[in-house]
Amino acid sequence: MINLDTILVPFVDSPSAIGALKTAIAISKIHNSKLNVLHVVNDKTPDNLLETIKNICSAENAIFTFMERSGNIAREIIKAEKETNANLIVMGAYGLTGWQQLWVGSNAFKVISTSNCPVLTLQNDIGTFNGFNKIMLPLDDSEETRQKVNWVAKLAKGFEAEVLIFNTTKVKGEDSRVKLALYAQQIEEILNKEGIKTEFDESYGNNIAEDCIKFAQLHGCDLISIMTETEQTNSFFMGTYAQQLVSTSPVPVISIHARSVAKPTGMG
């Protein structure tokens, strides 16, 4: 069972962090989640930062708890996650120092790699956020790829969003196509039983991260779901491809750990 009773939002005064806070507020209102906003400082909190948070939250009538820590940013975020028993972290993919195309070692990547809960990242502010309308669910040929279905279903039902099932691998082999077709059929049946509308598309043999972004934009998706780790060395939801996708996607990405979710009901 997916719980969404506590959301943690690491915050600095940057466009992506502002977008993250707006997104977290929308999710928290649907699921009646506690909203904890964390700022990690080296010296002291900027005078206008708390006022910025209050203004964003008051515009949506959202109640939040402000947390302030000092020290290593990623480490303090993970500590706060454990202290608050957060079910979801929503954060900007970059802060005041700007964007890095390959961001291994950045705070966002460290948080995604070491957290116990999913992490939803955004590249920019999103303006007025009215929820997710269509969520991309990419599938590769690893067993773990299907384990994100429960999270996708949770978010899709909350926002009454459609789900794009997107089959893709690094190779064009027929065996992979057949396997993924079965996966997609199983997932479509599960989602449809939950009253979630689905679409389908596929692409094989290309740069996986680029294809995910391309097809997400083509279908009007406003969230991409990925797994952060698998046990299969041919899976793209690990290493360079996952980093590239999260760090370059203009579409928000939710990164889910295989170790922290169960296989969806009804899947063999």
Judge if 49 and 143 occupy the same domain: no
pLDDT digits (tens, 9 = 90+) for 34-64: 999 999 986 666 778 999 999 999 999 999 9
Same domain? For 45 and 108 the reply is yes
Two structure tokens written together for 198: 């689905």
- Decide if 98 is inside a domain: yes
CB 199 within 8 A of CB 171: no
Total count of domains within the chain = 2
Which residue in 134, 248, 108, 148 sits closest to 200, CA to CA? Answer: 134
Q: Could you give the angle at the alpha carbon of 156 between the alpha carbons of 260 and 17, nearest 5°?
A: 75
Q: Are residues 20 and 107 in the same domain?
A: yes
Cα gap 198→162, rounded to integer Å: 6
Same domain, 101 and 25: yes
- Calpha distance 127→216 (Å, rounded): 19
Is 95's pLDDT higher than 70?
no
Question: Once rounded to an integer, what is the mean pLDDT over residues 203-227?
Answer: 93
State the residue range of the domain holding 114.
6-122
Q: Does 58 map to a domain?
A: yes
> Within this chain, do residues 112 and 175 fall inside the same structural domain, yes or no?
no
State the chain's mean pLDDT as an integer: 85
Q: Is residue 235 part of a domain?
A: yes
